Amino acid sequence: MRKVYCQKCRKQIESRKELYTMQIFFSIGAFCGSCYIEKIKSVSSLVVSNTPLNGRYANFLTLMTLVGLIMVYFAEVAYIKIPLIVVLSLVLLMRAYSFIRFERHLPRKRI
pLDDT 10s per residue in the chain (111 long)? 788 999 889 999 988 888 999 887 778 889 998 888 887 766 656 556 677 888 888 889 999 999 999 998 888 887 888 888 888 898 899 899 999 999 888 887 655
| Contact (CB, 8 A) for 89 and 69 | yes
Domain ranges in the chain are 4-105
CA distances from 84 to 16, 21, 26, 65, 88 (A): 31, 24, 19, 11, 6
Distance CA 16, CA 35 (A): 15
- The model scores a pTM over 0.85: no
Q: Please report the pLDDT score of residue 44 as a whole number.
A: 59
Q: Please report the pLDDT score of residue 64 as a whole number.
A: 94
Helix (H) / strand (E) containing 31:
strand 27-31
| Contact (CB, 8 A) for 8 and 41 | no
